[in-house]
Amino acid sequence: MTISDQDILFLGDCVREAARAEIMPRFRNLGATDVSEKTSAIDLVTQADVLAEHRITAALRERFPTALVVGEEAYDADRSVVPALADAELAFVIDPVDGTFNFAAGLPVFGTMLAVTIRGETVAGIIHDPVLGDTVTAIRGAGAFLTRQDGQSTKLKVAEPANLNQMVGGLSWSHMDEPDRARICANMAKIRMTFAFNCSAYEYWMVASGKMHFIGHAKLMPWDHLAGVLAHQEAGGHTAKFDGTPYRPGETTGGIISAPDKESWQLIRREIVGI
């Protein structure tokens, strides 16, 4: 099983069409009944999430009828689809609106993420910014590229390694328990600048393009990470779980760090994560 260049173009078109038709018309235009809570007041779903996922899913199933399609919003109906990613011959993983809290609040910091896996390996990833119309596309072994709305394309490269006190980074601790939360928050004072976008799409975009030195997360749902991890790796970076093992499709625990190289990764794990 392989994915062709034409398939990659098709996937990009699917994501962009969903953004045009379902996401942007609802941005800063949501009614009271268009937003609901999933697990908490900061874990939201909107009509844009649901309808964009439906649109992308329908297009994928028409072109790839035997593929496994894993959407964030459909996950609650069938949680077996995530572990199935480890062995699926061909699978697509969709986050229709990553950064839903931001989207619902009217903040233009959200994105659509789509990853392609073949037999437990991520082979392609797309991160699209519906507001700017820009897209990051990563293909295993072929690099990661940022394509602007006007068609200009640039190859992405991670930041050069730096001393800890000169690093710019972010480590999401919102899903961590104590004492990990307090320890990591205190350790972030060791770096030069920290960001919290509440949006994996933007975080991976920033770290793959060299604007940030590192990012890290405790929760590893595949729609939040597969496309971004591939983009970061194809831009020259080093990503691994907290225990040093590679992150693979189907895994949801263990924490993850993305850094410019292995030495920087080890430094972040020791000085920021504290393990």
Bond prior to 222 in cis (omega within 30° of 0): no
CA geometry: angle 137, 140, 146, nearest 5 deg = 20
Whole-angstrom distance, CA of residue 59 vs CA of residue 269? 40
Asked whether residue 72 is marked as a ligand-binding residue, the answer is yes
CA nearest to 204, candidates 169, 153, 255: 169
Residues 6+ apart with CB under 8 A from 187: 271, 272, 273, 274
Rounded CA-CA distance 34/139 in Å is 35
- Annotated ligand binding at 98? The verdict is yes
Give the number of other Cβ atoms within 10 Å of residue 79's Cβ.
8
| Those residues with Cβ within 8 angstroms of residue 122's Cβ, 6 or more apart along the chain or in another chain | 115, 116, 140, 226, 227, 229, 230, 249
Return left, alpha or beta for 127; rule: phi > 0 is left, psi -120 to 50 is alpha, else beta.
beta
CA-nearest of 75, 71, 61, 82 to 10 is: 61
Q: Which residue has the tokens 């601790």?
A: 173
Beta-bridged to residue 137, according to DSSP, are 126, 145
Please report, for residues 5, 23, 124, 140, 250, the alpha-carbon distance to residue 118 in angstroms, rounded to integers and kept in the order given: 15, 28, 9, 11, 12
Binding residues for Mg(2+): 72, 95, 98, 224
Binding residues: 72, 95, 98, 224
